[in-house]
Amino acid sequence: MKKLLLITAFSLASVGMAAAQTATPPTDGTVAATPPAGAATSTMTPAATATTTAADGTTTTTTATGTAAAGTTEAAGAAAVMPAIAPQDFVNSAASGGMFEVQSSELALERSQTPAVQEFARMMIADHSAANEELKAVAEGKGLTVPTEIAGPPAEHMSAVQAAEGEAFDQTYMQHQVQAHEETIMMFQAEAQNGSDPDLRAFAEKTLPTLNAHLQHAQGLATGN
Q: What is the pLDDT of residue 53?
A: 43
Amino acid at 164: A
Expressed in percent and rounded to 5, the helix, strand and coil fractions of the chain are: 65, 5, 30
Tally of CB atoms within 10 A around 215: 18
Q: pLDDT by residue (tens digit) across 99-143?
A: 999 999 999 999 999 999 999 999 999 999 999 999 999 999 999
Q: What is the pLDDT of residue 225?
A: 65
At 83, the pLDDT band (50, 70, 90 cuts) reads confident
Q: What is the pLDDT of residue 19?
A: 40
Give the closest residue to 93 by CA, choosing from 160, 178, 190.
190
Greatest mean pLDDT among 31-40, 76-85, 161-170 lies in: 161-170
Q: Is the pLDDT of residue 203 over 80?
A: yes
Which CATH number does 87-222 carry? 1.20.1260.10
When pLDDT is averaged across residues 155-176 and rounded to a whole number, the result is 97
When pLDDT is averaged across residues 179-195 and rounded to a whole number, the result is 97
When pLDDT is averaged across residues 163-190 and rounded to a whole number, the result is 97
Q: What is the pLDDT of residue 98?
A: 98
At 224, the pLDDT band (50, 70, 90 cuts) reads confident
Judge whether 224 and 170 are in contact, CB under 8 Å.
Answer: no
DSSP state of 76: H
When pLDDT is averaged across residues 26-49 and rounded to a whole number, the result is 41
